[in-house]
Structure 1
Amino acid sequence: MNSTYAYHANKVWQEMIKDHSGEWGMDIHHWDWVPGVGVIAMLEYYEATLNPEVLAFLQEWVKHNSEKAKGTKVINSIAPYAIFPALYRITDDAWFRDEASRVAEWLIKDTPRTREDAFEHTVTENVAFAEQVWADTIFMAVLFLARTASLVGNKIYAEEALKQVLIHLRLLQDEETNVLFHGWNCGSSNHMSAARWTRANAWIAAGIPMIVKEIDQLITIPDELKDRYGRLMSGLLAYQQEDGLWSTVMDQPHFYREVSGSAGIAYGLMKGMELGLIPSLDETAAAVEQVVTSIMPYITEEGIVRGVSGGTPVMPTIQAYQDDISTYPTLYGQGLVLMLFAEVLREGK
């Protein structure tokens, strides 16, 4: 079975590096969160397979696209930097380390924050989300900060990463169901449309174990994080549909199934068990296997991952997530599936 996953993972990766110029969801040659998730996933794929072609692509990608990062710094555009610590360790090129440290300093000292001291969710698009906290920020920026903390042994970076995780969990976690709302508005003190959006949950389900792995040698991981993450993952399993996936808004089972969020949640379940953040139970492993199996029919022979919802701000109503957000191929959809398959391949070794 591993050969099947290896085959599909390679197809998914190959599709990501093709020329999709001008196609917002699949064009990897710019500097933002969409290609950022793509290259983060490619690094996971490289670490699972040690395929030298993947590493060569990542190095070339940075070489050809890093100049595009010199515009306005925003939370979403931090995502590609998350591969820099690993590239420094692999290449011993001090530029990767120095750039990571420079951007980490910006996050610590200059990034806009909400009144609760959370990183405000800022984007490259011409739109502002003043005083808004989104789950996405954990994966797009805090993961990078945690990896840089580990690289340079900086406890201040590690403590900030932990603080941001806890603030986001406290503001976004629904105490009734234990899953996360998409966003929080600090000005109005509410969750806006209060959608339990699946991909928001996936960013944190996948991101927290990746972050903990980086910072737990520098600082103590508090029981609150472990408790909240454990409750989150249990809550997510309660919304898994009979076909193995999650609806785009998870408590709306008649909404369409969303592949990227489902893959991210399954990845988080695997990494959470690996790091001891959640119990290693047979039923959890079976839930992951069901996700992997259910995703396979969504991958075309060319390696395109279907069933991925487009870029999604906090929508004005829950119904709008179903009616107004269409599905199409994206690098983050490809990436989250590639991360899941890479983890399956790594565990199968």
Structure 2
Amino acid sequence: MKTVHLLLATAVSVLSGSATVYAQSSKIDEFKSWPQGTSPKEIGDRIAARFVASPHAGFNTARPPKVIIYPETCAWYGALIFAKQTGNKMLTKQLAERFEPLLGSQDTLIPVPDHVDYTVFGAVPLELYMQTKDPRYLKIGKTMADKQWGPPEGKRVTAESHRFYDKGLTWQTRLWIDDMFMITAVQAQAYRATGDQKYINRAAKEMVFYLDSLQQPNGLFYHAPDVPYFWGRGDGWMAVGMSELLRSLPKNNPNRERIMTGYKKMMATLLKYQAEDGMWRQLIDDPASWKETSATGMFTCAFITGVKEGWLDKKVYAPAARKAWLSLIRYINSDNDITDVCEGTNKKNDHQYYLDRKRNTGDLHGQAPLLWCATALLR
């Protein structure tokens, strides 16, 4: 009899222990428990340090650029928000020092804000202003945001520029999905820096126009109206653009519900196309296309933000985001450069064109989303 009692007691003990372990494991936050060397803080520190040590980057070339181009802007912005989130004052100082020559002898590196890819640069000085309170940064960033909605001017103005301007949209509208990060980022930053709702209202109106023009019934986006392909990074700009905009868009904004609907529809479809290992592909719906890191980083950031903000079901999207992050960072090499980044890409109505794009290493199109993801995970 004693033996029976002992066996029963042991069984109860084991079952209780199992229940305790299960209860504890079920409470583990997918965004807080990381294998050694994979945490967002560790990865963010590595990628930010790599950026600080890097020279200004050209576009698909090793030559120094004549002006700062948008991939560097995106990585610079990413490093700044990571520094803020982690309280790394030294990193903020280093990133401000990188800007200092642009306030003097190298001011020609500041792009003329006459195109979405150049105007987005304003997001960097606006972030520097919010972290340092130096009014020089505010002046530059605010000027760029204002010129984006001012009267069309400069050599890039076309008849379409006036048509869009007359509709209350930015004259820089061109209906490429890339724009929905480039435009909304600088306008959202201007709102965050000044508190003036005109900036975020502009961005929301523009986003709805792009949603109505480019989002397909499955929730994804063609690169442009005349390019019917679901290019990974192009859709990535859209995913991050929507999630970043919604993060700051006031709840009473009349366009918020429309944008949220478009965002959730896209997220649901992206979930279906996520590969078994957590990655996404160069052409999202083509299982034969290669796995691409910049798009994966952007989609991961959009998932993380949606879970953190309570827009997406945590039970569904948090594990998917975790899987994506852990898969994505395996592409980082010993130099802290991410591999398999699609090179800078114009639109083209040619399926093979997208499949044949060069796979770069250390391209800032891919480095930037790593910093965005790290920040979003820590936020």
TM-score over 0.5 (shorter chain): yes
Which residue is equivalent to 1:240? 274
**Corresponding residue to 1:139 among 163, 169, 181:** 181
Pairwise CA distance, 1:155: 2.8
Pairwise CA distance, 1:342: 2.6
Alpha-carbon contact 1:153-1:218 (below 8 Å) kept: no
Identity %: 19
Which residue is equivalent to 1:15? 50
Go from structure 1 to structure 2 and tell me whether the alpha carbon gap of 1:69 and 1:34 turns closer, same or farther (over 3 Å shift): same
Go from structure 1 to structure 2 and tell me whether the alpha carbon gap of 1:333 and 1:29 turns closer, same or farther (over 3 Å shift): farther
**Corresponding residue to 1:284 among 317, 320, 324:** 317
TM-score w.r.t. the length of structure 2 is 0.79
> Which amino acid is 2:47 matched to?
V
CA–CA distance in structure 2, aligned partners of residues 339 and 248 of structure 1: 20
Higher relative contact order (CA 8 A, sep 6+): 1
**Does residue 179 of the first structure (1) align with residue 212 of the second (2)?**
no
Which residue is equivalent to 1:78? 119
Which residue is equivalent to 2:366? 333
CA–CA distance in structure 2, aligned partners of residues 114 and 182 of structure 1: 23
| Structure 1 stretches lacking a partner, 5+ long | 122-130, 184-190
Alignment of 1:180-195 (within 5 A): 180-183=221-224, 191-195=225-229
Task: Summarize deviations over 1:179-206 as a string: whole Å, max 9, x none.
Answer: 11112xxxxxxx2231101111111211
| Structure 2 stretches lacking a partner, 5+ long | 1-33
**Does residue 59 of the first structure (1) align with residue 93 of the second (2)?**
no
Alignment of 1:69-218 (within 5 A): 69=110, 71=112, 73-111=114-152, 113=161, 115=163, 117=167, 119=170, 132-175=174-217, 177-183=218-224, 191-216=225-250
Task: Summarize deviations over 1:189-236 as a string: whole Å, max 9, x none.
Answer: xx2231101111111211222222333178455321111111011111
> Which amino acid is 1:87 matched to?
L
CA–CA distance in structure 2, aligned partners of residues 169 and 80 of structure 1: 24
Could you say which structure has the larger radius of gyration?
A: 2
Go from structure 1 to structure 2 and tell me whether the alpha carbon gap of 1:286 and 1:92 turns closer, same or farther (over 3 Å shift): same
Pairwise CA distance, 1:120: 6.2
**Does residue 295 of the first structure (1) align with residue 328 of the second (2)?**
yes
**Corresponding residue to 1:38 among 62, 75, 93:** 75
> Which amino acid is 1:52 matched to?
K
Pairwise CA distance, 1:144: 0.8
Alignment of 1:338-349 (within 5 A): 338-344=371-377, 346-347=378-379
Aligned with 2:361: secondary structure? coil
Alpha-carbon contact 2:78-2:371 (below 8 Å) kept: yes
Go from structure 1 to structure 2 and tell me whether the alpha carbon gap of 1:22 and 1:104 turns closer, same or farther (over 3 Å shift): closer
Alpha-carbon contact 2:343-2:359 (below 8 Å) kept: yes
Alpha-carbon contact 2:243-2:306 (below 8 Å) kept: yes
Task: Summarize deviations over 1:22-79 as a string: whole Å, max 9, x none.
Answer: 7545869941202111111112211221212320122112222351225463210122
Go from structure 1 to structure 2 and tell me whether the alpha carbon gap of 1:20 and 1:234 turns closer, same or farther (over 3 Å shift): same
CA–CA distance in structure 2, aligned partners of residues 88 and 110 of structure 1: 26
Q: Which deviates more, 243-252 or 64-73? A: 64-73
Pairwise CA distance, 1:309: 0.4
CA–CA distance in structure 1, aligned partners of residues 241 and 323 of structure 2: 21
Alpha-carbon contact 2:301-2:372 (below 8 Å) kept: yes
Go from structure 1 to structure 2 and tell me whether the alpha carbon gap of 1:313 and 1:258 turns closer, same or farther (over 3 Å shift): same
> Which amino acid is 1:107 matched to?
Q
Q: Which deviates more, 227-236 or 154-163? A: 154-163
> Which amino acid is 1:139 matched to?
F
TM-score w.r.t. the length of structure 1 is 0.85
CA RMSD across the alignment: 2.5
Alpha-carbon contact 2:122-2:142 (below 8 Å) kept: no
Pairwise CA distance, 1:20: 4.4
Alpha-carbon contact 1:155-1:218 (below 8 Å) kept: no
> Which amino acid is 2:77 matched to?
I
CA–CA distance in structure 2, aligned partners of residues 253 and 260 of structure 1: 17
Aligned with 1:134: secondary structure? coil
> Which amino acid is 1:46 matched to?
A
Task: Summarize deviations over 1:146-190 as a string: whole Å, max 9, x none.
Answer: 221232232322221111111111111111x1111112xxxxxxx
CA–CA distance in structure 1, aligned partners of residues 136 and 145 of structure 2: 14
